[in-house]
Structure 1
Amino acid sequence: MAAHPVKTERHDTVRYEHHTNTGTRRVSIYRETPGGLYVARPFMNHPRIRHWQAHLLPDLGVQVCRYDFHGEREHDYYLDVATITRDGHVWTVRDYYLDITVWDGLAANILDTDELNAAHDEGLLGAREYAQAVGSAHRTLNALAAHGYRVNDWLAGHGLTLHWDAETANA
């Protein structure tokens, strides 16, 4: 596994721009929520994904995503383990490689541990961030299991209710 730097994304809520490692994309919706920030945007020319929605949840250290696929749904939720910060109208997501796919009410899987380990081994991720990523992933996965892999039940335990745009809500 080739190591790569931590993916850092920025959301400029004034300019409606999502800055990623592959470029800048126009965002349809930014909406502040009690737990963080809601984002929705189309995926242009993507072979599998048509639309993306996400809730940036800084206190939980995750970005909860839902994708609208061109074909069959691959999962209900996709969680990025991350540090999420805000500086004025710019939100920054520092994605720590680990992801959790959730089939709501059924199961969850953790992904990309090999990417996390490679980045740490190559010195692209320090011991503190490595431990933070692993700890956050374990807490999240254990909490999901304790709530029967129901994302809404897990979040309700934190006083959060996520709202998704109906036009792309297929999960």
Structure 2
Amino acid sequence: MPPAEPVKTERHDVAARQHHTNTGVRPVQLYREHTHGLFVARDFVAHPRIRHWQAHLLPAPGLVVCRYDFHGAREHDFYLDIATITRAGHLWSVRDHYLDVIVQDGTAAEIVDTDELLAAHRAGFLGAAELHHAVTVAHGVLSGLARTRYDLGAWLAAQGVTLEWLPVPEYAVPEYAGA
């Protein structure tokens, strides 16, 4: 069992175009609000594996749908964080619930970080209600993806959600464009 880590809470300040994480504040190239939540696109400057990140914060059902652009070979198509997402004016907050679903679009999906979820619950960082929410959402996502043959777009469309993604050059900083 890994050591328990405090819950990761992130904040998106749309007005200031800033993404506040546990490791600092990062500039955001694009925020776009839509019917189902918030779209985010930003660079990962000096990251060893990741060049760019795009995500949709979806308060219902409680997902951050991430698409990473890697320096090397693509490791996965989508990375879904199970979370509680709230909004207060121009500030969006994401309280991570440890569980994640990794999606190889059209091929497979798996739930990861169950050990982190259980360690955090044992340490008191996550209450029973949040634990139950995380497990329920993660298994609902996995079951839904299985029914659509692991097609994330089809699963979301069945719930009335359509997500749009940008090609990297539309938001990348010049030093990374075309890399």
What interval of TM-score do these two structures reach, taking the shorter chain for normalisation? Answer: over 0.9
Q: Distance in 2 between matches of 1:127 and 1:162?
A: 31
Structure-1 residue corresponding to 2:156:
155
Alignment check: 8 A CA contact 1:61 1:83 kept: yes
Shift of 1:14: 0.1
Structure-2 residue corresponding to 1:20:
21
Structure-1 residue corresponding to 2:76:
75
Alignment check: 8 A CA contact 1:83 1:95 kept: yes
1:16-165 correspondence to structure 2 within 5 Å: 16-165=17-166
Secondary structure at the residue paired with 1:124? Answer: coil
Question: What are the Cα deviations for residues 106-146 of structure 1, in whole angstroms up to 9, with x where unaligned?
Answer: 00011100000000011111111111111111111111111
TM-score of the aligned structures, taking structure 1 as reference length: 0.97
Q: Distance in 2 between matches of 1:44 and 1:26?
A: 10
- Over the residues paired in the alignment, what is the CA RMSD in angstroms? 1.0
Q: How many residues align?
A: 169
Alignment check: 8 A CA contact 2:52 2:168 kept: no
> Structure 1: 5+ residue runs without aligned partners?
none
Q: Percent identity?
A: 61
Secondary structure at the residue paired with 1:59? Answer: coil
Which ranges of 4 or more aligned residues in structure 1 deviate by more than 2 Å?
none
Q: Distance in 1 between matches of 2:4 and 2:168?
A: 37
Shift of 1:150: 0.3
Q: Distance in 2 between matches of 1:161 and 1:123?
A: 36
Q: Distance in 1 between matches of 2:83 and 2:116?
A: 14
